[in-house]
Amino acid sequence: MRDIESRADIEQLIIQFYEKVKQDATIGFIFTDVVQMDWSHHIPVIVDFWETILLDNPVYKKNAMEVHYDLNKKVPLQQQHFSSWLQLFNSTIDELFAGKTATLAKTRAKGIADIMLLKMNKENDKHSVL
Ligand code: HEM
């Protein structure tokens, strides 16, 4: 199996990942009902994000945390959502690629998901009346 080497590889990974996401019982509704995703807009943005991380080409200039804070107001994002997200992301990588960059993608996804969960939890606690 090949490693992730190009933007086209990332694009393939992301398209296949979202096919799984849309059908997932735990997080699918977030993408299909809560946010009616404009995929033709979103896919190039998330490919930019991963190209920045994996191919060291700084094409993503936005703040990825921001959109999740907004989303978190509509659906409090919790452990089970991140577990499903990561499981789908990792299994898509394993279906398509193997190597140093494929492993890096999984490691970085886990790191970012952990931080994101902590930040969302903190935000949710702030608004708790208990
Ligand atoms: C509970 C897990 C997650 C859910 C439900 C989720 C959901 C979403 C949704 C619905 C959007 C689109 C928002 C919009 O355009 O209005 C989005 C954007 C994005 N997500 Fe996530 N996400 C999750 C975890 C992650 C993780 C772990 C990463 C990174 C490793 C990530 C990276 C991104 C990026 C880069 C964008 C695009 C941000 C931008 O527009 O600049 N997401 N996510």
Task: Write down the pTM of the prediction.
Answer: 0.96
pLDDT above 90 as % of the chain: 93
Tell me which of 10, 41, 71 to substitute to probe ligand 1's pocket, judged by most ligand atoms within 8 Å of the beta carbon: 71
Distances (CA, A) of 107 to 20, 23, 63, 100, 103: 20, 24, 20, 10, 6
pLDDT tens figures, 65-81: 999 999 999 999 999 99
Q: 2 lies in a domain?
A: no
Atom of ligand 1 nearest to the CA of 27: 5
Please give the residue range of the domain that contains residue 68.
7-126
- As a whole number, mean pLDDT of residues 114-124 equals 93
CATH of the domain at 36: 1.10.490.10
Q: Which residues line ligand 1 (CB under 6 A)?
A: 27, 30-31, 35, 42, 45-46, 49, 62, 64, 67-68, 71, 77, 81-82, 85, 109, 112-113, 116
Q: How many domains does the chain have?
A: 1
Q: pLDDT tens digit string along 25-81? A: 999 999 999 999 999 999 999 999 999 999 999 999 999 999 999 999 999 999 999
Cα of 108 vs centre of ligand 1, distance in Å, is 14
Residue 129 has pLDDT above 80, yes or no: no
Q: How confident is the model at residue 130 (pLDDT cuts 50, 70, 90)?
A: low
The answer to whether residue 77 is domain-embedded is yes
